[in-house]
């Protein structure tokens, strides 16, 4: 039994080593306290609502959010806007619908069941408008980048003047956290860029944190349910394991061999 | 097989059993005499059965919601993650389940290597096991393609391209596998079909694996032949059932931790980017459980020879019962083999590590040395060791007193579990 644990520990160590080594060549990301980290982690509702505001006012002009629907904004475990608020948000967008009885496509105000309206008709249009670079869809973005939330949070604050010797083409910017340091997105955040309705001071750091929290939710909308269920499942398994352990001891005590 | 003929007590039972002896089978499975000194490394057979069933059940549900089409696969996976009730749970169990399956199978294989479970009369069990392992790798690779992310697409491109190394017909075979001139929709649909088929082939082979096991019975930590049933054995039920159950629960705790708290840590971030044939990821890396073989593939400068080396690395295992010339099964009584065993374990871990690193400079050098040693272990060390090694005395039975001043039972029990040197 003791050896068993020792070996398991070695295996765990090996895995830990592997993951660390995968991240070895990257720069140190900026750190902040994420409310959703850890086994009991939950989203901060107000941060999600502010994050949505930043996404809406800043990011959404270029970045799509194609797997999200307006109805998701009311769902439990998310920003939890009221139904009225979400309806108002949806209605503020024009959605292409149709064809109608005359065979015509028409525009109508968005509904809760609609997917988030895309900033561009298609990928080519997005590239054409952004100097050839396609602004990636943001729904699962934090899961699609090695550093996850820390990477996005750092990137948003990582703009600097290029070091001596580095020349940048037109429309290319220097960011110390970007892979290769060259990024086609210019610095988007500046202090006081948005006016938070809850009165929070809109510093760059605050906005970066809020919008990253929002992106974590869009990527993992069931994170809170997962954490809660995981806790219950593991506690249940531990109790059952202990019970089974004693049953096993009891059964094996019928013969002289020890388990 | 138990000695006595089984007859059901009830009349109906007897009538049924005379026509289809299912009750005899059930009786055999519960009474099956098992060595009483099996340690926890023997519980991974049961754990693997659990893994297979988990993959089949979760996979079945996923297949109800998944769309095998190049334009919709990625989106349908997101649909499962967001809108299907508990779809995220089912998918995370399935995705992490694959890793857990491999973790368990590697422990199972290395247990077999330590205690010499592949030796006569258990060669067929071992070879069926190797076929299962090969099918598992195929299923895992095919399954990884289905979400149609960047790693799916480029992993599929790299692996299928290996076939182009075959002289003359290679290119033709690759086109035939793809169903076109690149990895595309026809590739995805056939991969999905095969991914659905393979688990059932594995299930069939698992039945054969267990059947073949029940003929000679289990090996055991001291690796001696035992009389069955005897004082050395316990009936499978309840003794082994409860012990397997306990180990399985511990395994499930680890499994649950991955599923609920770090569901994406074993995957690659790039697979959350939809497949794009025009953009190649910076590093194309397979899943962790294939890394040692990936390292072997890349350590050979020639493509064809690399593929041959990679395949041989797996197939050489099938010849193991004949490469290992030692009459003694368990490493407990083989002081030299025990050392080489741990070197092999380290060697495979090193291969796994360099497999994840870029194939250049020092990493490439280490990969080459580790690859060479891997083959050296099986082709030279094992055959020679059987003749040269001075083994320690082996007890005659698990419970009986031991002849010739060899260690007593307590000492054997202490020694029989894996020892970190």
Which stretches of chain A score pLDDT less than 50? Answer: 20-24
| CB pair distance less than 8 Å for B88 and A252 | no
| CB pair distance less than 8 Å for A241 and B82 | no
- Which residues in chain B are closer than 8 Å to A146, comparing Cβ atoms? 269
Sequence spans of domains, chain B: 1-31, 33-284+391-416
CA of A199, closest CA in chain B: separation in Å? 32
C-alpha–C-alpha distance, residues A234 and A214, integer Å: 28
Helices (H) and strands (E) in chain A, counts: 7, 4
ipTM of this predicted structure: 0.90
Q: pLDDT tens digits for B270-320?
A: 999 999 999 999 889 999 999 999 999 999 999 999 999 999 999 999 999
How do A173-174 and B33-35 pair as beta strands? unpaired
pLDDT(B103) > 80: yes
Which of A140, A234, A255 has the CB atom closest to B256's CB atom?
A: A234
How do A94-97 and A106-109 pair as beta strands? antiparallel
CB-based burial, B137-163: b 16+ in 10 Å, e otherwise: bebbbbbbbbbbbbbbbbbbbebbbbb
C-alpha–C-alpha distance, residues B101 and B107, integer Å: 10
The percent helix, strand, coil of chain A (3-state, each to 5) is 45, 5, 50
Q: What local confidence, expressed as pLDDT, does residue A255 receive?
A: 87
CA of A119, closest CA in chain B: separation in Å? 19
pLDDT(B411) > 60: no
Q: pLDDT tens digits for B32-73?
A: 999 999 999 999 999 999 999 999 999 999 999 999 999 999
Q: The tokens of B145 are what? A: 């393609």
The domain made up of B33-284+391-416 is a member of CATH 3.90.1150.10: no
CA of A143, closest CA in chain B: separation in Å? 6
Nearest CA in chain B to A123: B276
pLDDT(B416) > 60: no
For B305, the enclosing helix (H) or strand (E) is helix B303-318
| CB pair distance less than 8 Å for B261 and A245 | no
Span B82-104, average pLDDT: 98
C-alpha–C-alpha distance, residues B219 and B6, integer Å: 25
Q: pLDDT tens digits for B235-247?
A: 999 999 999 999 9
Q: Which residue has the tokens 């070895």?
A: A24
Handedness of CA B215, B218, B223, B226 (dihedral sign): negative
Which of the pair, B227 or B129, is modelled with greater confidence?
Answer: B129
Q: What local confidence, expressed as pLDDT, does residue A26 receive?
A: 58
- Which residues in chain B are closer than 8 Å to A17, comparing Cβ atoms? 353
Q: What local confidence, expressed as pLDDT, does residue B410 receive?
A: 47
| CB pair distance less than 8 Å for B256 and A145 | no
User: What is this structure's pTM?
Assistant: 0.92
> Mean pLDDT across chain B, nearest whole number?
93
Dmax over Cα atoms in chain A, in whole Å? 86
């Amino acid at each position: 039994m003791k050896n068993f644990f020792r070996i398991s520990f070695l295996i765990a160590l090996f895995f830990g080593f592997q993951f660390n080594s995968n991240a070895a060549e990257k720069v140190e990301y900026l750190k902040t306290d994420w409310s959703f980290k850890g086994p009991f982690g939950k989203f901060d509702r107000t941060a999600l609502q502010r994050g949505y505001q930043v996404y809406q006012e800043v990011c959404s002009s270029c970045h799509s959010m194609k797997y999200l629907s307006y109805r998701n904004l009311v769902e439990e475990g998310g920003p939890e806007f009221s139904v009225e608020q979400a309806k108002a948000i949806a209605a503020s967008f024009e959605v292409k619908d149709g064809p109608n009885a005359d065979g015509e496509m028409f525009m109508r105000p968005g509904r809760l069941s609609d997917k988030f309206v895309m900033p561009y008709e298609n990928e080519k249009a997005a590239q054409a408008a952004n100097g050839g670079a396609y602004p990636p869809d943001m729904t699962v973005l934090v899961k699609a980048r090695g550093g996850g939330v820390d990477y996005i949070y750092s990137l948003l604050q990582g703009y600097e003047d290029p070091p001596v010797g580095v020349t940048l083409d037109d429309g290319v910017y220097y960011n110390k956290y970007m892979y290769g340091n060259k990024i086609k997105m210019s610095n988007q955040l500046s202090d006081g860029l948005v006016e938070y309705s809850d009165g929070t001071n809109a510093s760059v750091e605050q906005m970066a944190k809020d919008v990253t929290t929002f992106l974590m939710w869009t990527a993992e909308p069931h994170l809170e349910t997962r954490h809660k269920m995981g806790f219950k499942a593991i506690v249940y398994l531990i109790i059952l394991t202990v019970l089974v352990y004693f049953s096993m001891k009891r059964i094996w005590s019928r013969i002289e061999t020890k388990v | 097989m138990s000695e006595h003929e089984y007859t059901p007590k009830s009349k109906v039972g007897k009538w049924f059993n005379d026509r289809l002896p299912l009750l005899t089978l059930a009786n055999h499975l519960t009474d099956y005499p098992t060595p009483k000194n099996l340690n926890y490394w023997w519980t991974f057979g049961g754990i693997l059965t659990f893994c297979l069933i988990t993959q089949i059940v979760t996979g079945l549900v996923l297949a109800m919601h998944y769309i095998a089409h190049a334009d919709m696969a990625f989106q349908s996976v997101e649909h499962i993650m967001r809108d299907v009730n508990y779809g995220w749970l089912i998918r995370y169990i399935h995705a992490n389940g694959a890793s857990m399956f491999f973790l368990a199978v590697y422990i199972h294989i290395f247990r077999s290597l330590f205690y010499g479970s592949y030796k006569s009369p258990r060669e067929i069990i071992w070879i069926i096991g190797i076929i299962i392992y090969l099918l598992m790798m195929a299923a895992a690779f095919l399954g990884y393609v289905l979400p149609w992310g960047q790693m799916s697409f480029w992993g599929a491109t790299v692996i299928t391209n290996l076939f182009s190394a075959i002289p003359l017909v290679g290119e033709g075979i690759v086109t035939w596998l793809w169903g076109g001139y690149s990895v595309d929709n026809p590739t995805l649909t056939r991969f999905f079909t095969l991914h659905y088929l393979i688990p059932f082939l594995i299930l069939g082979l698992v039945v054969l694996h267990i059947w073949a096991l029940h003929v000679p019975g289990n090996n055991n930590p001291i690796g001696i032949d035992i009389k069955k049933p005897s004082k050395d054995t316990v009936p499978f039920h309840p003794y082994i059932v409860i012990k397997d159950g306990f180990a399985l629960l511990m395994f499930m705790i680890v499994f649950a931790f991955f599923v609920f708290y770090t569901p994406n840590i074993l995957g690659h971030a790039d697979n959350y980017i939809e497949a794009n044939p025009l953009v190649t990821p910076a590093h194309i890396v397979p899943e962790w459980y294939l890394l040692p073989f990936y390292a072997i593939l890349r350590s050979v400068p020639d493509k064809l020879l690399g593929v041959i080396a990679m395949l041989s690395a797996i197939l050489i295992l099938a010849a193991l019962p004949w490469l290992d010339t030692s009459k003694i099964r368990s490493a407990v009584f083989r002081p030299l083999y025990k050392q080489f065993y741990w070197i092999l374990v380290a060697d495979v871990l090193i291969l796994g590590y360099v497999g994840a690193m870029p194939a250049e400079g020092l990493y490439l050098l280490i990969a080459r040395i580790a690859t060479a040693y891997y083959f050296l272990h099986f082709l030279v060390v094992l055959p020679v060791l059987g003749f040269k090694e001075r083994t320690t005395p082996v007890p005659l039975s698990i419970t009986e007193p031991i002849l010739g001043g060899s260690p007593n039972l307590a000492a054997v029990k202490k020694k029989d579990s894996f020892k970190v040197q």
